[in-house]
A and B are shown apart, each in its own frame.
Chain A
Amino acid sequence: MVSQTIELRRTKAAMLNEKLLYRANKRSFKNSLRVILAYAWKNLQNDLRYLGSWIYWMVVPLLWLIPYAFQGKALLGDSDSSFFLKYGGTGDYFSYVALGFILFNIVDSAIWGAGNRLRWEQKSGTFEYIWITPISRVELLLGSSFSELVWIAFVCTTQFLILNFALSWTFTIIQILLALVVIIVTIAGLFSFSFIFASIILIFKEPGTLSELTDISLNIFLPVRYPLRILPPFLRWIGYTIPFAYGFFSIRAFTLAREYNLGFVWLAIQLVLSTIMWIVGLKIFKRIEHRTRKIGQIGAY
């Protein structure tokens, strides 16, 4: 009699569990959005505990810009470079580098922030708890990228406004709005890059060296400090395949060069490449996550 009661209770509990799991796993846009926002809010709450860090990353990269002004003064003795004008669309090399630095924050954030988020969860000892919640892993990644979006949009916009004031840029409201559109599209591209990077972290676990290598390589292949056209052809074409490069092209076309049509073309190419990278990034992540779980390495430290 007792064993029958226990068995009945077990069956009821199993049914309830299944029902709950079914409800939790029931996919709808609203559910997914709730999960993404919940995870993003959790990350943002963590980040907001370190307000000094927000100010720090807003100001310090701007300090790294100053030696470029002195270098230009030493090598040219002028604020305009004819070579930059010929290949970069503007002779004002300092503004060129300043805009490059602002956009590179997004690339940095994709590598060190969103891409490394899973590793930070592991280090905090919360990775397994998050991983066994009945939600899609992709939603987790989107959540971490979304929190990065808020943080990096804040950093980029404030840096843009500070430099606009300090360098007396005479941009119109439309130019500024277009620059913000470029920043947002580039940040959307960041999501796809962070999928690929998160996959790498699932395999290598401690990706410090790889992150640094990627960071340094992107500094060479992307037009952060100089126009891509001056690179040797084989290096230039590597740069052209990276979606972020078109963000650099379009923001400069909209602001410094004032070539709006060209700016929209670059923006469109960036959107197409980012979409391809999204699809590829998601596929890679799903496959690697499955493989890592299969070989029992998901929680390995």
Chain B
Amino acid sequence: MNEEKYKTKVNQLKCELFGSLAVYKKSWQVQKRYPLAMFFYALSPLLWLLPHLIFSSALVGGRYSENLYSLIGYGDVLIYTSLGLVFMAIFSSSMWGTAYSFRDEEFAGTLENLYITPISRYSIILGKTLFYLSQALIGCIIQLIVIGIWYREDFSWTNFLLSSVFLLVGFLLIQGTSLTLIAFVFWQKEGWKIILLGESLILFITPVTFPIVVLPTLLQNIAKFNPLNYAIEGFRNAFLFGNTGSVQMYFLILILILPFATAVGITIFHFAEKWLRKKALIGQY
């Protein structure tokens, strides 16, 4: 009897996974119809990186900053800045993409059809997330190749793999935020201005292009509650310095935050979706 139940569960899980893959495949098929957009998504992460890097280099008049070296023990401004920006790009694009995945279906007039398919909402979200992640990864790979060329003298595959673990954990961490944002967009329909404002404020306390130590004490204290802080520092330190004590500490903190952030996201999405369905606001334009 137990074995029967187990088999049914496995089959259900398989079906959900197939559902997610179908959503993923469909999203790519739609995307392929717009070759200009695909070309842009492949090229834009690099173009987006350039003005920030040129600015960093213009500040110090080259590639090396003594001040940065005295703060963190590493002075190459191009590598330091671009690693932070690579992480932020992957975070930002998959977060925005997933947050607006249902809204895009609403615009296309296909949300209702998608919503009544006999699979879980989370499987649909997973399919969409995988699509946006794979799209962001193309850009991320191009960026990392460029960084690898700059950094070729000190490049280490072990450090690279270790930093990829942080990318993966960071990506899983985003899912909680994305689920909360899906609920918000579902409710507000056009809530992008609030999300952008939130993102702009979070950037003050996120070490994308500067270490947290340069912030005023109040902001440094607030930054301690920002999980992105640990993800970016972990990713960058792992890439530059390898398996150090601080990298292990960042990893431990992220692993502890991960279940909590995901649970909060799932709970918010669950209740928001239930409330919206009750109020018949799901398909509203």
Which residues of A line the B interface, CB within 8 A? 53, 56, 60, 63-64, 66-68, 70-77, 81-84, 86-88, 93, 97, 208-210, 212-213, 216-217, 219-220, 224-227, 230-231
Q: In the complex, which residues of chain B have a beta carbon less than 8 angstroms from the beta carbon of A72?
A: 59
A225 and B210 CA atoms in complex are apart in Å by: 17
Query: Would A209 and B34 count as touching, CB distance under 8 A?
Result: yes
**Which among A53, A88, A212 has the greatest number of chain B C-beta atoms within 10 A?**
A212
Query: Would A74 and B68 count as touching, CB distance under 8 A?
Result: yes
The answer, among A64, A82, A208, for a CB contact under 8 Å with B200, is: A64
Would you give the 0/1 interface string for B187-212, flagging 1 where the beta carbon is closer than 8 Å to chain A?
00000010011001101100011110
Binding site of B, secondary structure by majority: helix, strand, loop or mixed?
Answer: helix
B36 close to A (CB within 8 Å): yes
Query: Would A226 and B54 count as touching, CB distance under 8 A?
Result: yes
Q: In the complex, which residues of chain B have a beta carbon less than 8 angstroms from the beta carbon of A216?
A: 44, 47-48
Query: Would A67 and B209 count as touching, CB distance under 8 A?
Result: yes
A81 and B62 CA atoms in complex are apart in Å by: 12
The answer, among A63, A76, A225, for a CB contact under 8 Å with B51, is: A225
Query: Would A73 and B58 count as touching, CB distance under 8 A?
Result: no
Query: Would B61 and A219 count as touching, CB distance under 8 A?
Result: no
Query: Would B54 and A225 count as touching, CB distance under 8 A?
Result: yes
Query: Would A93 and B54 count as touching, CB distance under 8 A?
Result: no
B1-55, CB < 8 A from A: 34, 36-37, 40, 43-44, 47-48, 50-52, 54-55
**Complex: chain A residue closest to B71, CB-CB:** A74
B56 close to A (CB within 8 Å): yes
**Complex: chain A residue closest to B70, CB-CB:** A77
B120 close to A (CB within 8 Å): no
Query: Would A70 and B214 count as touching, CB distance under 8 A?
Result: yes
A216 and B48 CA atoms in complex are apart in Å by: 6
Query: Would A93 and B59 count as touching, CB distance under 8 A?
Result: yes
A16 → chain B closest CB, angstroms: 42
A82 and B215 CA atoms in complex are apart in Å by: 23
A253 → chain B closest CB, angstroms: 18
Query: Would A77 and B67 count as touching, CB distance under 8 A?
Result: yes
Q: In the complex, which residues of chain A have a beta carbon less than 8 angstroms from the beta carbon of B90?
A: none
**Complex: chain A residue closest to B45, CB-CB:** A216
Query: Would B56 and A75 count as touching, CB distance under 8 A?
Result: yes
Query: Would A75 and B59 count as touching, CB distance under 8 A?
Result: yes
- Complex A-B, nearest 8 residue pairs according to Cβ-Cβ distance, in ascending order: A83-B61, A74-B210, A77-B67, A226-B58, A225-B55, A63-B200, A70-B210, A209-B37
B60 close to A (CB within 8 Å): yes
**In the complex where A75-B68, A216-B47 touch, is A83 in contact with B210 (Cβ < 8 A)?**
no
The answer, among A88, A210, A231, for a CB contact under 8 Å with B54, is: A231
Q: In the complex, which residues of chain B have a beta carbon less than 8 angstroms from the beta carbon of A75?
A: 56, 59-60, 65, 67-68, 77, 210
